[in-house]
Amino acid sequence: RMIVPGLYGFISATKWVTRIQATTYAAEPAYWTVRGWATDAPVLTGSRIDLPKGDVIAGANVIAGISWAMAGDGVSRVEVSVDDGEWREANLAEQLTPRTWRQWWIDWDAAPGRHIIAVRATNGLGETQTSEERDVIPAGATGYDRLVIDVV
């Protein structure tokens, strides 16, 4: 296996290597590039909601997850919105390196009913992940992670 920090997919998922040939994109296109993927494949700024899961009891709860950003020395801010409301800044755990996930969490006083939670991250350059939803092909998926929660 070969691990390439900061890259994903066809560049970092190498298995069963039998031969290595050093070349450039100018000299020879990459295997996946000719199949519609982008030539450059940087990891895009993104976030994921990991908690809560399933039905939630009304009252004090925690919304939590991870975020990542390769540009600008990693994640500088994470914000959470409930039911398309105001974006609230989340607490951030220590970032071990600019190339690692960063845990985040926020307290949430959950009212009974169905809720939609969204999360977004901002990198060290001040660039906030886009709300525009885009498919993984050709250059990586975009959009906010959203989670539907039923509070009882």
Q: Residues 113-142: pLDDT tens digits?
A: 999 999 999 999 999 999 999 998 888 889
By the 10 Å C-beta count (0-12 exposed, 13-18 middle, 19+ buried), 149 is classed as: buried
**Per-residue model confidence (pLDDT) at position 46:** 96
Is pLDDT of 144 > 90?
Answer: yes
Q: Residues 1-28: pLDDT tens digits?
A: 666 666 666 555 666 777 778 888 788 8
* pTM to 2 decimal places: 0.81
**Per-residue model confidence (pLDDT) at position 13:** 61
Rounded CA gap, 140 and 12, in Å?
Answer: 14
**Full set of structural domains in the chain with CATH:** 1-41 (no CATH), 46-151 (2.60.40.650)
